[in-house]
Amino acid sequence: MILAGTTTSAGENSREMFESLLKRTHQQAFHLALRLTGSRTDAEDLVQEAFLRAYRFFHRYDPSLPFTSWLYRIMTNAYIDDIRRRGKLKTSSLDEPHPETGSTWDFPDESASPERLVMTSEMEAEIQEGLNRMTPDFRVAVLLADIEGFSYEEVASIMKTSIGTVRSRIHRGRKQLRSFLVKAKPEKYKGMLE
Amino acid sequence: MNCNFVESRLAAYIDGELDGVDMLRVRSHVSDCRQCAFELDSLREVKSMLGNLPARKPADDFELRLLNAIQSEDSRTVRVARGFTFRFGWSGMAVAAAAAVCAVVVFSFNRHDESNVATAPPAVAPREGFERDQIYFQASSPLSQGVTVSYEGISSNR
Ligand SMILES: [Zn+2]
């Protein structure tokens, strides 16, 4: 019963509008998706799925709200759905050292004070690994706040939850990341714990 | 003001998400409590590490691939927002339904005597008052999975 064919001028207009929003937001959406999934391929798939869903329901988009808030709601929902479907909602791996981030790197001069840590590509990989092992709901909240700079109220609206829950997820998520880093690379990050 | 109360609010304190009273409470506590002050610095560092992650860009052709995906979505389905198409579709369906009933009746006349005509299925007229997207989309929201063309699930959507 799907009707194929005709395109009205109203349809053309909304497609033009959608395409212009897509062009403006897809890079940022990719970066968020990359940090969420930890993989470029998964990030591209997730962003494409989010844009397709957004396009199908573009007639429901309220233009008085930022497009990215709406898009990220769709994207993070698709992401959490996917994880639940695959039964990956576990955090126990936080306690296991990552096979690839063993203890081969040594940055003795950086261990004394956390303020002096400078972002290196190794560090980016370690933080990403910590994100990958974070509880998914915490990861979404932390990334929306710390990568995208959304307020707790905006995160709550995107995640359809209360501000209190957002506050707790962000707090616990950041602590999970810190625990992972300290366990994975104690010589580098132990200064972050007393 | 105990350490547990303060500790549970440190992230919100860092993010400027506490109300004025709690903000002052936490500030005053960490100025006196070495342990909470350390925790505050450490959690601040976690936040800044995340904020300093370099922005990674997608492949050069990613935008084009997205636009193509949108285009093929468009040619696959006339989206439900187009009321004209829908109304045409519905009246077309009504005509088709009426034609089907006629066919059944004619078919019955041809094959059976008149007493059997009474058992022909009743004409089922399309119910009025449905919104068009209820008919075409089982998933009524971009937050749910996929698109299914089906009558099932209509009532659960509203
Ligand atoms: Zn304290």
pLDDT (0 to 100) of residue A21:
97
pLDDT (0 to 100) of residue B74:
81
Residues A12 and A83 placed together within one structural domain of the fold = yes
Cβ–Cβ < 8 Å for A75, A31: no
pLDDT (0 to 100) of residue A88:
53
Residues A83 and A128 placed together within one structural domain of the fold = no
State the nearest Cα–Cα gap between B144 and chain A, in angstroms: 8
Q: Is residue A114 situated within a structural domain?
A: no
Average pLDDT, chain B: 69
End position of a domain, from candidates A29, A61, A87: A87
Residues A76 and A131 placed together within one structural domain of the fold = no
pLDDT (0 to 100) of residue B78:
56
Q: Is residue A151 situated within a structural domain?
A: yes
pLDDT (0 to 100) of residue B14:
98
Residues A140 and A82 placed together within one structural domain of the fold = no
Residues A16 and A82 placed together within one structural domain of the fold = yes
**Considering its fold, how many domains does chain A have in total?**
2
Task: For chain A, say whether B54 makes contact (Cβ under 8 Å).
Answer: yes
Q: Is residue A54 situated within a structural domain?
A: yes
- Asked if B82's CB is within 8 angstroms of A43's CB, the reply is no
CATH of the domain at A135: 1.10.10.10
Helix pair angle (B34-51, A163-184), 10° resolution: 90
Q: Is residue A101 situated within a structural domain?
A: no
Q: Which residues have CB under 8 Å from B86's CB, separation 6+? A: B80, B132, B135, B136
Report CA(A154)–ligand 1 centroid distance (Å). Answer: 30
- Asked if A119's CB is within 8 angstroms of B82's CB, the reply is no
For B10, the enclosing helix (H) or strand (E) is helix B10-14
Count of H-run helices and E-run strands, chain A: 8, 0
Cβ–Cβ < 8 Å for A13, B81: no
pTM flag (> 0.90): no
Give me the domain span that covers residue A81.
Answer: 8-87
Q: What is the mean pLDDT of residues A37-48?
A: 96
> Is the model more confident about B19 or about A95?
B19
For B46, the enclosing helix (H) or strand (E) is helix B34-51
State ipTM.
0.79
pLDDT (0 to 100) of residue B139:
57
Residues A128 and A73 placed together within one structural domain of the fold = no
Name the residue among A34, A22, A149, A116 with its Cα closest to residue B54: A34
Residues A83 and A137 placed together within one structural domain of the fold = no
Q: Is residue A106 situated within a structural domain?
A: no
Total Cβ atoms within 10 A of residue A178:
20
> Is the model more confident about B141 or about B57?
B57
CATH of the domain at A14: 1.10.1740.10
Q: Is residue A162 situated within a structural domain?
A: yes
- Asked if A23's CB is within 8 angstroms of B82's CB, the reply is no
Which residues of B are less than 8 Å from A2 in CB distance? 76-78, 136, 149
Count residue pairs from A and B with Cβ separation < 8 A: 164
pLDDT (0 to 100) of residue B75:
79
Q: Which residues have CB under 8 Å from A59's CB, separation 6+? A: A14, B79, B80, B81
DSSP state of A145: H
Substitution target from B3, B8, B53, B141 for chain A, most A beta carbons within 10 A? B53
Q: Is residue A99 situated within a structural domain?
A: no
Tell me the H-state helices in B16-157. Answer: 20-32, 34-51, 62-76, 83-111, 114-117, 132-136, 154-157
